[in-house]
Amino acid sequence: MSTGQKLLVVLTSQDVLPTRANMKTGWYLPELVHPYNDLDGHVELVVASPKGGEAPVDPYSIEDSKNDEASQRFFKEKGHVWKNTQKLESFLGKSAEYVGIFFVGGHGPMFDLAVDPTSHALIREFYESNKLVSAVCHGPAALVNVKLSDGTYMVQGQTVTGFSNAEEDAYKFTDAMPFLLEDKLKEHGGQYEKADQLFGVKVVTSGKSKNLITGQNPPSAGVIGKVLLQAIQKGMCDLKPESCGQCRRANISCHGYRNVKDLAFRDQTRVARQKVVARQGYAYQLITFPSPMLDLNLDVEARCRDTFFLLYVTGLSRSCSSLPPLYNQAPISKHLAYSVNAVSLAFSAVQFDSRELISTAFNRYSAAIGNLRHSLCEPNVFIGDEILQSILLLDLFEKLAAPSLGMPGPSMTHIRGAMSIIESRGKLNFASALSTQIARNVLSHFIISCGITKTSILESQVAVWKDLSGLIIDSKWDYMGILVDIVNLRAMLTKGIMVDDSKMNGRVFDIKCRLEYLADSLERSCGPVVVLLGDWQALDGEYDVYPNHFTMQLHNAVRMMRLEMEGLIRDRCHEQNGDAINKIAKQICRSVTHCIMPQARSENSEPFTPMQKLECRILIAPLYQAAQLTTDNCVQEWIWRILEYMAAKGNMRIARDVLELSKKRLDIDYWTIWAMAGCYATAA
């Protein structure tokens, strides 16, 4: 049911590629279909184009989506959507009537919307009125040349994405484009981001009012509609009873939220119903929910799922690009949907410290395991990407929820099973980019899990890493290769395997040198910018700003391993390496300020935003390790003060727990803290 709010959807009117002997082009079918289906029923969708009338669909997109059931059904049944569009100029001056504007991709926008003054004026009007401005794939071509009233480009200083140069080249259209979208976004000051792999899912939110939402490519169209819906629903309580979903469901008058910061995440459905019952003269009674899966209050489960996708899958994480395309095709009654529901509830329970959600999440987890077991027992079952993705999610659930559920230490059950499947699949791990990404994720999770449990990584498993290394070339993968040796070293030391001291020390020094080389390489390729600031939250009056959170996290991961090696050298070889340890500890400290200090970036606030809490959770283990190993009392005191600040401003109980452990100086290594905080589950 629509809420009465309207979203303007814009299609291109360009029907030919002038650079390719009049090859037919237009808007890209799946890039309209999936956002449209996600939003339809929640808002009224009004479709426009520069010329009005029928907006041309790219013939190639129809063929390319022949296996996309939703796109084919839409093309056959909803021709009126694009055959009767309104002229774009008729919407000038009417931004107040709409929640936002969304531009569908396809090569067409590169030729008409990119230089259309009417479109530019409309975008400027929407953006400066704090309305949502969004585009996917080549759709950001409509945004890239837009200038604001002060003469600056709208994308200047904003995090944006769009069809990448590499993707354009893969489609063999580089020479047919009037410009390359990635280059033009950067040229006009945009902070361009893209997925780690070709055609990986990437959606980013930016803008002074968090009202600029862009998606990278066709697969991202499966996510951007959900992100838009989440953004629209955040602003739905506007003192109008017909617009506020929560009050409407409870059948009470809406008085609106006093302030955006009052929007704390909590389920008020039960309380609201109790109030209604009381007002209607019935006795006060406790409303309970039945236990089967689909009987849970759908608003709670849907909100948790949206939170998981918005904050983690398409927000913080760089390793979840395989999930959206698989999830969008998965039936609601199958194991992947069950697994997503379970991990979404667990993620929200941890993020918002809700014990009630944890128990519900565990019920979903049990249902997901049962459903997956049933699928695996089906005759002639093919163990493909979808099953592996479900197993990864179940492993993620255990890593997130284990501390809250009192599970006896980290479990290897799911990830060990996934790893055995990867080993047996052989060349099927390279059948597609999606299969390779999932194989990479499984191996990465397995390596970290072995590090937590001090379990050796076998030669057959190392062989999988070597096979994947022929296809994956990036710094994080280089780091994972070093981590394999560190994990095996930890296992040997724990089991007391007899190795000559000189050989063992030689291994430690070898790993140390490789980590130092990688750290230097990272500094040269994606090192931070130093900012001077006279505030207690900036250690020694300065802090570091990285290109993005993923880069900062990779730097800190390398630093943590360097600290572990320096600690071993100090204890085993009795070297005086305090200066090296203190230098690394300070580098970790300088990475924290940008995530927590309100003045450091526009999206920071007090109390912390959900994204700040997620970023801080991942910083807790590095801070703990730095405090344990540093010989500089000032650094240690600063870390304790920061953990206390996180606990207070982020309402993060885990920060307070780790602070107490750090002050007690117990012999707990940082891997244990890493597991306790769920960091290895929510890392980017």
SS3 content of the chain, % helix, strand, coil (to 5): 60, 10, 35
Between residues 388 and 576, the one the model is more confident about = 388
Question: Cα(104)–Cα(35) distance, rounded to whole angstroms?
Answer: 9
In a domain, 186, yes or no: yes
In a domain, 582, yes or no: no
Residues 421-458: tens digit of each pLDDT: 999 888 888 888 888 999 999 999 999 999 988 999 99
Q: Round to the nearest angstrom and report the end-to-end CA distance of the chain.
A: 36
In a domain, 598, yes or no: no
Residues 445-497: tens digit of each pLDDT: 999 999 988 999 999 999 998 888 888 878 888 999 999 999 999 999 888 76
Instruction: Give me the helices (H) in 28-67, please.
Output: 29-39, 59-64
Residues 298-348: tens digit of each pLDDT: 468 888 888 888 888 888 888 888 888 888 877 766 889 999 999 999 998
- Beta-carbon count within 10 A of 561 CB: 22
pLDDT at 269 (0 to 100): 42
Query: pTM score > 0.75 for this model?
Result: no
Q: Exposed, middle or buried by CB within 10 Å (0-12, 13-18, 19+), for 373? A: exposed
Q: How many domains does the chain have?
A: 1
pLDDT at 601 (0 to 100): 86
In a domain, 521, yes or no: no
Where are the strands (E) in 38-88, listed by range?
44-49, 86-87
* pLDDT score of 178 more than 60: yes
In a domain, 168, yes or no: yes
In a domain, 639, yes or no: no
Q: Exposed, middle or buried by CB within 10 Å (0-12, 13-18, 19+), for 182? A: buried
**What strand order describes the sheet that includes 44-49?**
86-87, 44-49, 6-10, 100-103, 132-136, 212-215, 203-206
Domain CATH number, residue 141: 3.40.50.880
Residues 507-532: tens digit of each pLDDT: 999 999 999 999 999 998 889 999 98
pLDDT at 408 (0 to 100): 52
Residues 25-57: tens digit of each pLDDT: 999 999 999 999 999 988 999 999 999 999 999
User: Do 544 and 531 touch, CB atoms closer than 8 A?
Assistant: yes
**Closest alpha carbon to 48 in 96, 2, 16, 81:** 81
In a domain, 502, yes or no: no
* Domain extent at residue 16: 6-234
Greatest mean pLDDT among 98-107, 284-293, 402-411, 568-577: 98-107
In a domain, 575, yes or no: no
Q: What is the average pLDDT score of the chain?
A: 84
